[in-house]
Structure 1
């Protein structure tokens, strides 16, 4: 919590900080978001905004496994204190400086082998929603970092984490830096929509746009029985993927690595790397390092 947050009193802020004290970062309007997104026949069944939690993914997974959350539940936090990224990396951000939310999906009629496309689908939806609502050109780094351009440099402004819930569901967490200022960046390679020149940093329309795009893409994917080619997902992901055509290093489990050119995303959502030995190696999990500019 920063010094500018210290003022007034708020029952959700035990240290006495007011959620209104940083006027550049007003709170989300949960009532308006529910009115816009939760509707009969739609995907989103519930939308809850909490002031602070450890991890929206952890909370929603627990609710799913306890039977208290149905498909389409959305949990949004104004601040996360124990957020996790891929490979269990930890990160924090000032309260109300971004969009931090998780959704519960239960695509039980889709073959489990195709569920690996869900985080990639979410990446496409996030990029689509932000392009429409923030006016920012975004790109996806495989498997699911959201990239923006700040001062001519590629920066990470968001990430996606998908986790299986024990009840046959998938909880997908999204974190997007919206108004993060240069002095607040956790690492020099980070960025935000504001630093990338967004035409709007109003989080309510940003969240609405992202969730509507996610509902649209999820519906297309389910209608195609999870086939990424038939619903256009594979082609759309490849078109927006900044990793393709780059020389990369894939850091794999067991301290192994592969270096080569990222040439495709295959039907299983794996990144295909053409090595110097002439082998096309599909990578399903690992950390990807871009070795040269696009």
Structure 2
């Protein structure tokens, strides 16, 4: 049976006489704009600014090279808060040798806080008390509560409020402070520190922006004696595959690096290095 078209009376298999719709012109596609180059430009600008800030820090060139961007920003913020409270023109001149000598005579380390409990200054001898450098402490946070054990934060907050309401009144609080992993393994926990200080108005009339909490932080549990420290192995030895994977290491590595032997076996030596030192270490490794 053949079906014919009612218009042209031709079989439908033939070319149809029905009007066909004109093909719509394809809509012009929107131009694709890549944001990759813009993002890279922003990252490069941020990196350049961070490098410029790092170059202004009053530390040695070797220390600057080891700073990550996070540590750089933490140190810059610390210096800015310190410059706001203690303008350079008002600070008494003091040589670095005198400062180091005085710090070595203290039973603890010095701590300066702003009115809102922000860290303003931590003396360099904090490493002898907590096993962490100033930079490592700043990586914990920018307030005093970030370097304290969380259990005593509320009591410390009350003490600081009391001292801020009555400038010149001395307050004392005892709390655990965060320490390095090696310190905790050696001593069984964080260090208990007695903080004794007062709020001091640095200008008149006093205001929150010109008031600082000056304190001496003294460890309650004394550091190990020289005889106890000497009982630890002075060095540790390790064996590696050609790609520097640990295959064995002496138990004394725990005292120096804070890792147990079982944690290191099978791990790459490169994973323990600072990222900025990896290229130099790889070059020396290839030379061997």
**Shared fold by TM > 0.5?**
no
Shorter-chain-normalised TM-score: which range?
Answer: under 0.3
**Which has more strand, going by share of residues?**
1
TM-score (norm. length: structure 2)? 0.26
Structure of higher RCO (CA pairs closer than 8 Å, 6+ residues apart): 1
Q: Which has the larger radius of gyration?
A: 2
* TM-score of the superposed pair, with normalisation by structure 1: 0.25
